[in-house]
């Protein structure tokens, strides 16, 4: 019960950082060598690696954020995450494998919202001195057609 | 995107019967209605996609086993490509000969035959009709006419040809053989990328609310590259005077552009007047743009556009073919088919996956293209008639145009080929 609560806290903090546009905090939810990927389910089920974002380590995540802030050009937009069904698949004292559902609504120019992405997270969470962190987070999305572009991690 | 505005899209002024007047024949001026008119869109399906062209379908590596199939499109016509039991490739229109229903409803799979769910008419991998339930009726009554011939009622077949593992199809009996269609100026680029067996790494899909031709211009447009996509400039990674070679084919259809890696003795001085240049930022993980040389020529960026809807791409070590599928005058799907080489080490495959971050819908150096295309579509969908212009390099010598990627000559080339095929 306590573990489930702590994992929920981690996830709540993670989605709040993204939805509140505190992108610089996003890499800090991972271990320094943590992995983050966004992969369409059609590839995942075939065992194919190609996806939209592949960050191997916090350095690549920070580069992604700097690029998003300084280099890339896009219409102003925000996410709102809805997550559910956090399930513990396996656990040891310091490492937990979890799965949960996510739905991301994207609002563009504070005018219209659409279902942007729907899928599941498959996470490996590890205990660190600073608390639970993602060692691996894979967002496996089902609606393979990405509308126009994806800028912000989900 | 102004997502909500799409419901109210005014398709713009449409010429009667899909006929349109281009201001000239050199491709330097394009009437806006060619991007928004439904009549012209429909004519393009007939004269281009079902006309004398070869359309990319799949990588052979996507269909390794007999019976493997993939649903795709030629233009907006649903087409299935299969590897037959004999190991050959076949393609047919995904429309049942009986009532016209979609026969194959899966995106990919393996099957010896394909049955329409409506009345269970079934076809083999070649598209031949093999079975019609109750053909002799019930208790011998009310079956199909005696004269009904399975052989005459197969699926509509397309011509299929492949080059270096790239599969193409054509509706046309007149189109030149595939290698002639590609032309001798385009073959070396394809030969280089496909010089050894490849390994398919998966596809990603992007849906863009713009006309398909805006994308085919975009990939031929070296002018926008460093101005719209500021990733390289922001992180001090490239200069606009990089050595380039941008060539077209003799039929004004295809284009092949290469950017070569060159030393930088002047210290990025070409960017000094560009507002996007930031001289303090650098990447924490520069390997994301590292080129591990795998070709004789040290090419950083290879973009090869094969008319009408294929782009062969190598950016550093990420390899892909992009397939453009028009869905409506103001919508198209863009599919990236990523691949590596069959003999890649796990580490090299990981490097290619790392560099997938550069391209596609979330590509660090490419994500802006969809937005730029939608801004054009939004700008031209209503209002007075007008035309776009592509004049950069118009008065330059051909040899200069071929070494300066900034020119718009390949946009003009695309439109000359387009005008010829469309009869405009």
pLDDT above 80: residue B119: yes
Q: Is residue B319 part of a domain?
A: yes
Q: Does residue B280 sit in the same domain as residue B416?
A: yes
Q: Does residue B61 sit in the same domain as residue B151?
A: yes
Beta carbons of B362 and A52 less than 8 Å apart: yes
The pLDDT of residue A145 is 97
Quote the percentage of chain B above a pLDDT of 70.
Answer: 91
Q: Is residue A147 part of a domain?
A: no
Q: Does residue B158 sit in the same domain as residue B205?
A: no
* Facing residue for B367 by CB, picked from A50, A74, A114: A74
The pLDDT of residue A136 is 98
pLDDT above 80: residue B110: yes
The DSSP line for chain A is -HHHHHHHHHHHHHHHHHHTT-GGGGGGGEEEEEEEEEEEHHHHTTT----SEEEESHHHHHHHHHIIIII-----EEEEEEEEEEEEEEE-SSEEEEEEEEEEEEEETTTEEEEEEEEEEEEEEEEETTEEEEEEEEEEES--EEES---S--
Q: Is residue A26 part of a domain?
A: yes
Helix (H) / strand (E) element for B215: namely helix B212-218
Q: Does residue B119 sit in the same domain as residue B211?
A: no
pLDDT band, very low/low/confident/very high, at B417 (cuts 50, 70, 90)? very high
CB of B37 within 8 A of CB of B20?
yes
pLDDT in tens, B186-211: 999 999 999 999 999 999 999 999 99
Range of the domain at B226: 184-422
pLDDT band, very low/low/confident/very high, at B251 (cuts 50, 70, 90)? confident
* CATH code for position B384: 3.90.380.10
The pLDDT of residue B407 is 83
Cα–Cα distance, B81 to B79 (Å, whole number): 7
Range of the domain at A20: 2-141
The pLDDT of residue B235 is 85
pLDDT band, very low/low/confident/very high, at B265 (cuts 50, 70, 90)? low
Contacting residues for B180 by C-beta, under 8 A, at least 6 apart: none
Q: Is residue B35 part of a domain?
A: no
pLDDT band, very low/low/confident/very high, at B236 (cuts 50, 70, 90)? confident
pLDDT above 50: residue B4: no
Q: Is residue A152 part of a domain?
A: no
Q: Does residue B235 sit in the same domain as residue B342?
A: yes
B192-230 burial, b at 16+ Cβ within 10 Å, e below that, comes to bbbeeebbbbbbbbbbbbbbbbbbbbbbbbbbebbebbb
The pLDDT of residue A30 is 98
* Facing residue for B361 by CB, picked from A54, A70, A146: A146
* CATH code for position A40: 3.10.450.50
Q: Does residue B223 sit in the same domain as residue B339?
A: yes
Q: Does residue B140 sit in the same domain as residue B251?
A: no
The chain A residue lying nearest B280, using CA atoms, is A70
Q: Does residue B80 sit in the same domain as residue B225?
A: no
Contacting residues for A144 by C-beta, under 8 A, at least 6 apart: A40, A41, A42, B204, B205
Residue B177, both tokens: 């053989």
The chain A residue lying nearest B372, using CA atoms, is A74
pLDDT above 50: residue B30: yes
- What's the count of helices (H) and strands (E) in chain B, helices before strands? 10, 19
Among candidate residues B132, B162, B192, the one where a domain is terminated:
B162
Beta carbons of A145 and B234 less than 8 Å apart: no
Sign (positive or negative) of CA dihedral A79, A84, A89, A91 = positive
β strands within B277-349, DSSP E: 299-306, 310-315, 318-328, 331-341
pLDDT above 90: residue B1: no
pLDDT in tens, B312-341: 999 999 999 999 999 999 999 999 999 999
Q: Does residue B372 sit in the same domain as residue B230?
A: yes
* CATH code for position B132: 2.102.10.10
Chain A residues lying within 8 Å of B4, measured CB to CB:
111-112
Average pLDDT over residues B47-51: 98
Of A137-151, B265-279, B293-307, the poorest mean pLDDT is in B265-279
Q: Does residue B254 sit in the same domain as residue B121?
A: no
The pLDDT of residue B279 is 61
Of B30-34, B280-284, B356-360, the poorest mean pLDDT is in B280-284
Q: Is residue A151 part of a domain?
A: no
Beta carbons of B368 and A109 less than 8 Å apart: no
pLDDT above 70: residue B216: yes
The chain A residue lying nearest B331, using CA atoms, is A148
For chain B, what is the domain count?
Answer: 2
Average pLDDT over residues B380-403: 89
pLDDT top residue among B11 and B419: B419
Q: Is residue B130 part of a domain?
A: yes
pLDDT band, very low/low/confident/very high, at B234 (cuts 50, 70, 90)? confident
Q: Is residue A23 part of a domain?
A: yes
pLDDT, chain B, mean? 90
Among candidate residues B131, B162, B193, the one where a domain is terminated:
B162
pLDDT in tens, A39-51: 999 999 999 999 9
B30 three-state secondary structure: strand
For chain A, what is the domain count?
Answer: 1
- Chain A residues with CB under 8 Å of a chain B CB are 38, 40, 42-43, 46, 48-57, 59-60, 62-64, 66-67, 70-75, 108-109, 111-112, 114, 144-151
Q: Is residue A149 part of a domain?
A: no
Nearest alpha carbon to residue A73 among B233, B230, B226, B223: B230
ipTM above 0.90, yes or no: yes
Chain B residues lying within 8 Å of A73, measured CB to CB:
228, 230, 368, 371
The chain A residue lying nearest B233, using CA atoms, is A71
Q: Is residue A47 part of a domain?
A: yes
Q: Is residue B237 part of a domain?
A: yes
How many C-beta atoms surround the C-beta of residue B41 within 10 A? Answer: 23
* Facing residue for A145 by CB, picked from B4, B205, B336: B205
Q: Is residue A133 part of a domain?
A: yes
Nearest alpha carbon to residue B255 among B307, B215, B313, B193: B307
Q: What angle do CA B199, B217, A66 make, to 5 degrees?
A: 70
Average pLDDT over residues B224-229: 87
Average pLDDT over residues B206-225: 94
Pick among B6, B203, B204 to test the A interface (most A CBs inside 10 A): B204
Q: Does residue B135 sit in the same domain as residue B238?
A: no
Q: Does residue B133 sit in the same domain as residue B211?
A: no
């Amino acid at each position: 019960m306590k573990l489930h609560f702590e994992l929920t806290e981690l996830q709540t903090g993670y989605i709040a950082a993204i939805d509140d546009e505190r992108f610089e905090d996003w890499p800090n939810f991972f271990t320094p060598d943590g992995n983050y990927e966004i992969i369409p389910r059609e590839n995942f089920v075939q065992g194919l690696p190609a996806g939209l974002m592949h960050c191997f380590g916090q350095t690549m995540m920070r580069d992604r954020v700097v690029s998003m802030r300084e280099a890339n050009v896009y219409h102003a937009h925000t996410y709102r995450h809805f997550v559910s069904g956090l399930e513990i698949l396996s656990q040891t004292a310091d490492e937990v494998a979890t799965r949960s559902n996510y739905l991301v609504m994207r609002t563009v120019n504070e005018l219209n919202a659409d279902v942007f992405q729907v899928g599941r997270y498959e996470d490996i969470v590890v205990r660190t001195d600073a608390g639970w962190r993602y060692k691996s987070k894979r967002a496996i999305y089902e609606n393979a057609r990405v509308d126009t572009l994806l800028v912000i991690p989900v | 995107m102004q997502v909500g505005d799409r419901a109210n899209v005014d398709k713009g002024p449409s010429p009667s019967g899909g006929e349109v007047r281009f201001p000239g024949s050199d491709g330097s001026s394009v009437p806006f209605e060619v991007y928004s008119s439904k009549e012209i869109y429909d004519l393009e399906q007939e004269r281009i996609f079902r006309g004398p062209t070869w359309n990319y379908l799949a990588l052979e590596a996507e269909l390794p086993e007999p019976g493997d199939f993939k649903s795709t499109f030629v233009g907006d016509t649903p087409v299935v490509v299969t590897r037959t039991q004999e190991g050959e490739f076949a393609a047919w229109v995904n429309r049942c000969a009986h009532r016209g229903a979609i026969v194959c409803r899966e995106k990919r799979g393996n099957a010896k035959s394909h049955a329409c769910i409506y009345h269970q008419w079934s076809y083999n991998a070649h598209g031949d009709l093999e079975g019609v339930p109750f053909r002799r009726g019930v208790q011998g009554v009310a079956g199909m006419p005696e004269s009904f011939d399975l052989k005459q009622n197969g699926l509509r077949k397309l011509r299929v040809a492949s080059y270096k593992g790239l599969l193409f199809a054509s509706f046309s009996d007149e189109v030149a053989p595939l290698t002639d269609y590609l032309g001798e100026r385009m073959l070396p680029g394809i030969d280089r990328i496909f010089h050894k067996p490849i390994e398919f790494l998966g596809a990603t899909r992007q849906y863009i609310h713009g006309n398909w031709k805006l994308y085919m211009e975009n990939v031929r447009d070296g002018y926008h590259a460093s101005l719209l996509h500021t990733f390289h400039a922001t992180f001090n990674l490239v200069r606009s005077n990089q050595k380039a070679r941008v060539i077209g084919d003799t039929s004004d259809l295809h284009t092949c552009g290469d950017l070569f890696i060159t030393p930088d003795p002047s210290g990025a001085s070409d960017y000094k007047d560009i507002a996007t240049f930031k001289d303090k930022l650098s990447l924490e993980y520069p390997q994301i743009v590292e080129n591990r040389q795998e070709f004789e020529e040290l090419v950083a960026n290879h973009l090869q556009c094969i008319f009408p809807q294929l782009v062969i791409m190598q950016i550093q070590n990420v390899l892909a073919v992009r397939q453009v599928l028009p869905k409506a005058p103001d919508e198209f799907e863009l599919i990236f088919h990523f691949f590596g080489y069959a003999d890649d080490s796990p580490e090299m495959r990981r490097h290619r996956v790392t560099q997938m971050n550069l391209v596609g819908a979330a590509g660090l150096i490419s994500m802006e293209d969809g937005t730029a295309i939608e801004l054009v579509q939004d700008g031209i969908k209503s209002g007075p008639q007008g035309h776009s212009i592509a004049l950069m390099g118009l008065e330059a010598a051909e040899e200069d145009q071929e070494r300066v990627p900034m020119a718009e000559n390949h946009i003009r080339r695309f439109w000359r080929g387009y005008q010829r095929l469309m009869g405009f």
